[in-house]
Each structure stands twice: as C-alpha cells, then as structure tokens.
Structure 1
C-alpha cells in the first residue's frame, strides 16, 4: 500500500497482501503525514510480514501520535534501493509515538536518512522475534536523534528465551562480521544481546540522544549522558503521548499510561 499525503486515525491490522509492508511511503513528492493511527500486527504470521512502515526513494515521513503493536520489523527509513535519493532528501519525524513488542527496526535508518524522535516510547523490542532483535539503529550514514524518548524492557537479559537469545547473538555476530570483517570478533559490542540495543549506530551511522529514559542500566542508548528519571518518563506518557495517541483501552485493555505503569 502506498500513502496519500495525509492519513488520520484508523487501525491497520496487517499488509494488504502477504509479504508486503503495512504502509510504504514513496518519494519524492512532498511530505506524508500519519496522525493518530494504530498498526496492530500482533496477529499477523511472521511469514506474511515485511515492514510495518517503510519509506523509500527520498520520502519525507511525519508520524504523530501513532502506535505500533508487534511486527517483526517496525520502521525502515531507506531500503537500500535508492541511496542517492534518500541521502539527498529523505527525512522522518516521529513525535509522541509508541512502538511496543516489535522485533527490530524501531526504527532503522540507513543511506543517509535522518530520523528525529521526540517523546517516543520503544518498548520490548525483540518480542516479535525472527532473526535478531534491536531497537533504534542507524547505519550506512543514517542518523537517529532522540529527545525525551523512552527505551524499556519488561524482562531481563534472557527475556527472549534461551534459544532465541542464542540465535539473536549469533546473528548479530554475523552482521558485525559482514560490516567490519573478522576484526569484528575483537569488538565487545559485537556480542551485545539485542535486548540491550535500545539506540545504537554502526558503519558511519550516527545516534544522538538527550533526556532519554531507560528502565534497565544494561540498555544501551548511545550518545545520551543525561538520562531522565522514572517520574519524568511517566509525565511524558501522561502529558504528551497519551493525549496524542488513540485511546488504547479497547486494544490493550487499559490506557497507554496505565499500560506503562503495569510493565515498567
């Protein structure tokens, strides 16, 4: 599915056809704004999924008050097919959004695409597991700048289960060797489990963060030296995210702020 210039409200419960993205935004051609929409991929078989949302060929994407539930791959900013167009003009802006229980790409930025995140909550990445887990990741010249964002896990280092944790670490090792060669085996971060990778950068990517919250000290949020308190994180959910997002009581069985308090 391709996007028109503005999408407001509603619920997307999976791709139009198996194996497609839930929403693909193509550029160039002006910004596409997505407001107050829920993408609930929890009931979609992994084999029938690709990205929940992707942007390609220099697309400009603005999401405000959106919630992603599940999905093996949440958001891909730049897919590698149009690196020149993406580097020249692609930009994503996320504000007051929540990504809950996705596998990875929460979001992923590459090919020079810039993603800004303001007051966004990334929770329990890795739960919809396929090959490896990570939260937000900038690489191949992509940039992610996070301000007043929350990166949280409800379980421990083995929250994916022992089998999936071993698969996750093995695939991160393989990715690192692909990126850096055998010298990657000498880098400690090569062995970092996916549940620890809240916001990271590799291969010329840039990750910057300020006033972000993490509920586990082992969650890595690169570029952040000024972590927020739990109270400030709760205020961000209550005062900013919840008013901007759809009412989640019918979907989650509780409001977004109640859900935050129940899992953190």
Structure 2
C-alpha cells in the first residue's frame, strides 16, 4: 500500500517528481535497450510517467502495462494514456498476470522492504520471460542534506524516516538492491546510481517538506510531533530552501537491472 496520504497536492507533487526524473529514467531504458515490439510491465506505476516512456519506445507493435493498487493514481495515469498502454489495478506482489509474459518488468520507488520486497522481486522474475530484464529503482535517503545546514531541514529529515517506519515501509532496500538481484540469480546485473539535488526555484526544491506533509497522519498518530510544531518546522524549512544561497541533496537513486536466464535478450522488431 502506498504509504503517503492523499493530501491536496499529492498528485501534483508526484507528477513533478516524475518529470524531474525523466532524463535519468530514459538513460536506464536506453541502457536496457527497450525498443519497438517490447512487452513491458511497470509495477506500482503510480501516475504512469515511466509507463508512458516505455510505451513511446515499444511503439505500436509493443505492449505496455502499468499496474498499481491505488485507484486515484490509475485514474490520473489513464487520463494521460496514449498508444499501446493498459492500466490495471492490483498488488505488485500478486499480480495474477501470466508467467513469462514480458520482456521488461520495471518498478520505481516501491516503498517497501523486507519480506514484501523479496516477494515483489520474486513476482517480477516470475513475470519476465527467459532472456528478459528485471529493472528496479529505489531511493536512498541517507545522503539527504542542505547547504548551509539548517535545524528545520534536519528535523524534517528525521521525521521523514520515522514516518516511513510508522507507515510500515521499513528501511530502504536501495543499498542492498544490487546484491539482491545477484542473489536471485539474474544475469549481467548492472548498477547505476545518481544523486537528485536542487537549489531555490527548482521544481523539487520543496520535496522534503512536501513529502513530510504527506506523512502528517502517521507522524501525529505516533506522537512524534504536534500539528503546530510540524507546521512551524515546515515553514522554516521552506524559507531556508527558498533562499538563493541554499542548495540541497534530496536523495540518491539506485538503478539496478539484470536478465533472467534461459533465453536470448530481447531485440527490436
């Protein structure tokens, strides 16, 4: 289940994040070699921004499916759909889709950990055909920092970690992702990390306070902060991030992909 609450502006926040990551996602799809005729699945597709990028490459002869448990995300994604894209509602760990039916199974920022992530990886491997690719992208929040430092930013970073724990997300698997795909016996496993940073005026400049605001419910229910303190801290953080002299590293993204054994790599038609 998506851990962030459906606050006003959450769709806008996610759309901005997807647009911000477009170039790096295109680089991943290029490295994999996604092209015309490919059958692709985007697990936990959210608003469908990666799904649409895959569809543009797969073309009219390809087939692309976006799957997500959140109806509100699928409604938005469906309204933006074009070409050979189908959106389905379902659990990424138990899709019910036919075995070995995709050339690429992809997932980005799946907000899960531990046993559930292992189940998700097993489902992705089940769904990809022999010779096909499993590709995953995960956030690593450990490098989050602003320059110059500010106590409000540090407080929100701590609250973000606590809020994700309260929502059941658990620790990020980003740093373990490469090893997990190797242990799953995928072949030719590749690793591509990058940093996401910003300065005042960038579309993602308020990513930290906006994301913490989406965790307001779990934070308040757990007694980790109060409404008044949270609002004051977010306002101070936004002010600091809006200063032209402030820069921030928001998070790292780890992209990892590998091929399932037993078949030839996919090729363009």
TM-score, normalised to structure 1, is 0.30
Question: Higher strand share goes to which structure?
Answer: 1
Larger RCO of the pair (alpha carbons < 8 Å, separation 6+) = 2
Question: Higher helix share goes to which structure?
Answer: 2
The higher radius of gyration belongs to: 2
